[in-house]
């Protein structure tokens, strides 16, 4: 019988924090050894000093294909009952994975509370965490708009004593879902429509809502994501695979705006 509970997918591109992230997951996981696998997807490069642990698998892509395809590739070989996706520069609370898996439904996407991480000191920064977020449309330029998740202070106050509740959005740096939900509803992240790098959270959340699922927040645990002042590697494209952000943003608005305006906003009254 397959005991594997969780497959952690880490899309990676030359990030100096990769080893620390993998080690942090191994150290703080609440699962038994045979219940966890970590799949590091090396997106067009080779991991020079991989973490030596039987739970860590490495998938090398022959060329830089972008974050969306890297996630798809990792999910395609995942054997766990549940999926977790995280950025390669995150730390985690003790028992974070077991807390979320033990308290989620089959049709949920779940994200934990998010703190900001100082990757040099490898500590949470003294910045208030992000809990509930609302999905809004922001202007990127005079001609381009995008869906983005912004802190939702009103809901933070309304739900301050509720530890697991529905939210509207997430950053995308850490999420969980049942693998069967991915296979039924997400299927794969669409790189042809959205490009290779962005709006993956938007696509997953809208697909989940349309299929009767929920986007959830679990405040009983947390992850800390590298603060933007320390820079990024994978998220903004590469020399081999430059980001086409305007294209991805425009496509997401084109596909989902009517559903957002006529179904989602009335439900949330935002």
- Residue range 93-112, pLDDT digits in tens: 999 999 999 999 999 999 99
149-161 tens-digit pLDDT? 999 999 999 999 9
Using pLDDT thresholds of 50, 70 and 90, give the confidence band for residue 126: very high
Q: Is the pLDDT of residue 236 over 60?
A: no
Using pLDDT thresholds of 50, 70 and 90, give the confidence band for residue 228: confident
d(CA 171, CA 106): 21
59-91 tens-digit pLDDT? 999 999 999 999 999 999 999 999 999 999 999
Q: What is the pTM of this model?
A: 0.94
157-184 tens-digit pLDDT? 999 999 999 999 999 999 999 999 999 9
Cα–Cα distances in angstroms (integers) from residue 170 to residues 48, 52, 65, 218, 245, in the given order:
31, 32, 23, 12, 18
Q: What is the DSSP letter of 129?
A: P
Closest CA to 19 of 46, 49, 44: 49
Q: Is the pLDDT of residue 233 over 60?
A: no
Task: Give me the helix-helix angle, 200-210 and 67-77, nearest 10°.
Answer: 60
d(CA 225, CA 117): 5
Per DSSP (E only), the strands in 157-213 are 164-166, 174-178
Query: Residue 250: how many CB atoms within 10 A of its CB?
Result: 18
Using pLDDT thresholds of 50, 70 and 90, give the confidence band for residue 247: confident
Using pLDDT thresholds of 50, 70 and 90, give the confidence band for residue 243: low
| 194 and 68 Cβ atoms separated by less than 8 Å | yes
The residues, ordered by sequence, that sit 6+ positions from 139 with a Cβ below 8 Å of its Cβ are 145
Query: In the CATH scheme, what architecture does the domain 6-268 have?
Result: Alpha-Beta Complex (3.90)
d(CA 141, CA 2): 50
DSSP symbols for 206-269: HHHHHTT-EEEEEEEEEEEEE-GGG--SSTTB-SSSB--HHHHHHHHHHHHHHHIIIIIHHHHT
Q: Is the pLDDT of residue 229 over 80?
A: no
Q: Is the pLDDT of residue 235 over 50?
A: no
């Amino acid at each position: 019988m397959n005991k594997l509970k969780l497959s952690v997918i880490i899309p990676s591109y030359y990030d100096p924090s990769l080893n620390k992230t993998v080690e942090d997951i191994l150290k703080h996981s609440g699962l038994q050894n045979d219940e966890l696998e970590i799949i590091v997807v090396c997106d067009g490069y080779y991991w020079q000093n991989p973490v030596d642990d039987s739970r860590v698998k490495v998938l090398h892509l022959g060329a830089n294909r972008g974050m969306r395809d890297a996630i798809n590739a990792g999910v395609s070989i995942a054997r766990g009952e549940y999926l977790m996706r995280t950025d390669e520069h995150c730390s985690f609370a003790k028992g974070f994975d077991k807390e979320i898996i033990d308290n989620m439904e089959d049709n949920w996407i779940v994200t934990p509370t998010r703190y900001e991480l100082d990757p040099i000191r490898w500590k949470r920064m003294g910045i208030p965490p992000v809990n509930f977020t609302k999905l809004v449309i922001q202007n990127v330029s005079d001609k381009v708009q995008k869906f983005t998740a912004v802190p939702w202070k009103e809901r933070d106050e309304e739900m301050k004593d509720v530890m697991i509740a529905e939210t509207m959005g997430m950053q995308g740096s850490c999420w969980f879902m049942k693998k069967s939900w991915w296979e039924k509803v997400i299927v794969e992240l669409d790189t042809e429509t959205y490009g290779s790098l962005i709006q993956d959270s938007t696509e997953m959340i809208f697909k989940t809502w349309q299929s009767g699922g929920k986007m959830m927040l679990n405040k009983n645990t947390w992850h800390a994501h590298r603060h933007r002042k320390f820079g990024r590697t994978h998220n903004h494209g590469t020399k081999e695979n430059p980001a086409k952000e305007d294209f991805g943003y425009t496509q997401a608005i084109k596909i989902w705006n009517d559903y957002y305006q006529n179904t989602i906003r009335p439900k949330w009254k935002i």
